[in-house]
Chain A
Amino acid sequence: MTRHALSMVLSNVPGALARVVVLFSTRGVDVESLSLDPTERGDVSRMDVVVGLPAGRSPDQLVKQLSRLVDVKSVVAVADPARDQIGA
């Protein structure tokens, strides 16, 4: 299992979080921590999540799968999850 931090911007609409979380579950991704906050814009939320991937699975694939979701406005894998902890 390898740890990766993802930083995402979601549409602030009902069901957006559910779709992201179900994708994690469908693709066998462990969620270690997750935080969701509305931004000042109001129509989008910022989501930070640290996930565990089975060995050999790259975060690139997950980023692409998340990018397919209509309510995901942007998603990037943050380089070093140890340094970039949630809430740090």
Chain B
Amino acid sequence: MDTVTGASSLVRALEDAGCEVIFGIPGGAILPAYDPLLDSMKIRHVLVRHEQGAGHAASGYAQATGRVGVCVATSGPGATNLVTPLADAYMDSVPIVAITGQVSRSVIGTDAFQEADIRSISLPITKHAFQVTDPADIPAVIAEAFALAAGGRPGPVLVDIPKDVLAATTTYTPAPPVRNPRVTPAANEIRRAANLIASSRRPVFYIGGGVVRAGAAAELRTLAERTGIPVVTTLMARGAFPDSHRQHLGMPGMHGTVPAVAALQQADLLIALGTRFDDRVTGVLELFAPNAAVIHADIDPAEISKNRKADVPIVGDCKDVLVSLNAAVRRAPVLTSWWAYLDGLRDRFPLGYDWPADGKLAPQYVIERIGTLVGPEAIYTAGVGQHQMWAAQYVGYERPGSFINSGGLGTMGFAVPAAMGAQCGVPDRAVWAIDGDGCFQMTNQELVTCALENIPIKVAIINNGNLGMVRQWQNLFYRGRYSNTGLSTHQRVPDFVALAEALGCVGLRCAEKSEVDDVIMRAMEVRDRPVVVDFVVGEDAQVWPMVAAGTGNDEIMTVRGIKPLFDEDL
């Protein structure tokens, strides 16, 4: 038991929790914590340029490493700038701990300078929020915050610490390790699931991000190969099952492949693992997989039967569930005619795109070439919109955690700070942010951080001059009236190459098909600075296939107006 300040206690508690990097910005209320941080030999502090960047970086770090990501902000506006990353991490079940300074205990509730009630503000978007009122509690609160963030269904936890608590003299007592109880999957439900699998004729593994969080990709592959059952991976699960695997049908949902969507719709059994039947996957819920029995395994009991009633509910970590299922499934189902149907769809409706009529670069081609040349050992992040869907469709993912994006909240601007965080966690891997010109303008200030902190990420701006996904919807559903979606980035306002150079990065531009490979290779050769490539692409490219909002998955369109599952008798 040593006599220390609250601030020193905080830094030691973070070190003891295994924290190796913090993304943050100092300010008045958190200032005491930054003094002992300067002396820490274990924790690297990355000075970001906006607190939102700190939060998304913590999320990128967590998703790339599987460890808890940490961000720090001061009180008031510093704390409120963390709201979006907290909500983002809550929706995508990412374990992060956010530490915020707060005004001193004596003035809480008096509208003091830079006071914001962040604990209340964050109520619906955190697993839990602590406000430390006794400096002696700091070690235990930090230990509990880390355990809560990582345990069960992971998520964000906030720790709000008043300035005078940080400044106070206290004692440091190392917190005893916090154990997270682990639920064992119920044996009778596992047995029922195994029986349903053995007797099914048209089963599908519907795989969600929970399989990635649980580190259960190997167990999934074993069970899939033993049973021969087809696999679809949602946006949050891309990489949980290798894209190159014969049994993989691709991503389901609004912009899923025809075989993946059809497999869910025609299935007699969904084996849903670590997934939450999100509306982007199900389309109109009443029309989703109408003839399927549902096995639904999730670590969060509140997700089971939330949107679709489960016939076999299994509460448990996906890894434990898959280990149990591997032991219980003795007999593989007969799937000859099922595979004949699905392979037929695969042959007839592969993912594909047309080149723009105006001779401009096809955005899908750019992303496909990045995936091919950079390869599956890299980590890819994305913002939100058309480029995100193309990144999900046209990069081949072979490893869990190799695609990091904002799935649930759909946060534009996620890609650059998430890539920064991922690169800090895995410095030996290449990290590519596939971004849009709209998203990039929301958070590109973190490239300064990357340039100064030796975080050599690559950013591929898929620059179509527009808020592309919104424009696509305006084209399809608002009679082509393009209200406020033009961004003028094709008129070089801003000039992304000049902007990149101003931010301390290498800036490159490419507008010709013949130059795409060359510019990607040049970007890969730069190791001492971040690189931004402005890929100037056609503005009319659209994301296909598409299930329009408010329709059932059977109405999936391969291109505008063509609905193969709906129009034809397959």
B128–A70 touching, CB < 8 Å: yes
**Does any Cβ of A come within 8 Å of B148's Cβ?**
yes
Residue from A25, A68, A70 within 8 A of B302 (CB atoms): A68
Please give me the residue from chain A that is nearest to B119 by CB atom.
A15
Residues of A within 8 A of B148 (CB): 70
Q: Which of B153, B302, B306 contacts A67 (CB 8 A)?
A: B302
With A14-B131, A61-B306, A70-B128 known as contacts, the answer to whether A19 contacts B123 (CB < 8 A) is yes
Chain B, range 144-160, C-beta contacts under 8 Å to A: 148, 153
Which residues of B, 120-137, contact A by the 8 Å Cβ criterion? 120, 123-124, 127-129, 131
Least Cβ distance of B301 to chain A in Å?
A: 5
Q: In the complex, which residues of chain A have a beta carbon less than 8 angstroms from the beta carbon of B119? A: 15
Question: When A61-B306, A64-B302 are in contact, do A70 and B127 touch as well, CB less than 8 Å?
Answer: yes
Question: Any chain B CB within 8 A of the CB of A33?
Answer: no
B443 at the binding interface (Cβ < 8 Å): no
For A25, what are the chain B residues with a Cβ–Cβ distance below 8 Å?
Answer: 124
Q: Please name the residue on chain B nearest to A15 by beta carbon.
A: B119
User: Are A67 and B128 neighbours in the complex by a CB distance under 8 Å?
Assistant: no
Tally of A-B residue pairs with Cβ under 8 A?
A: 31
1/0 per residue, CB under 8 A from B, across A18-31: the answer is: 11001101100000
Residues 28-63 of A contacting B (Cβ, < 8 Å): 60-61
The verdict on A2 contacting chain B, using a C-beta distance below 8 Å, is: no
Question: Considering only CB atoms, which chain A residue lies closest to B157 in the complex?
Answer: A70
Q: Are B131 and A15 in contact (CB under 8 A)?
A: yes
- Are A26 and B124 in touch, CB under 8 angstroms? yes
Is A85 part of the contact surface with B, judged by Cβ < 8 Å? no
Q: Give every chain A residue within 8 A of B153 (Cβ-Cβ).
A: 68
Is there a chain A Cβ closer than 8 Å to B300's Cβ? yes
Please judge, given known A-B contacts A15-B129, A70-B128, whether A64 and B301 are in contact too, CB under 8 Å.
Answer: yes
- A74 interface residue (CB < 8 Å to B): no
Given contacts A18-B120, A70-B128, 16 further A-B contacts (CB under 8 A): A14-B131, A15-B119, A15-B129, A19-B123, A22-B124, A25-B124, A60-B305, A61-B302, A61-B305, A61-B306, A64-B301, A68-B127, A68-B153, A68-B300, A68-B302, A70-B127
A residues at B contact (CB < 8 Å): 14-15, 18-19, 22-23, 25-26, 60-61, 64-65, 67-71
Q: Which residues of B contact A (CB under 8 A)?
A: 119-120, 123-124, 127-129, 131, 148, 153, 300-302, 305-306
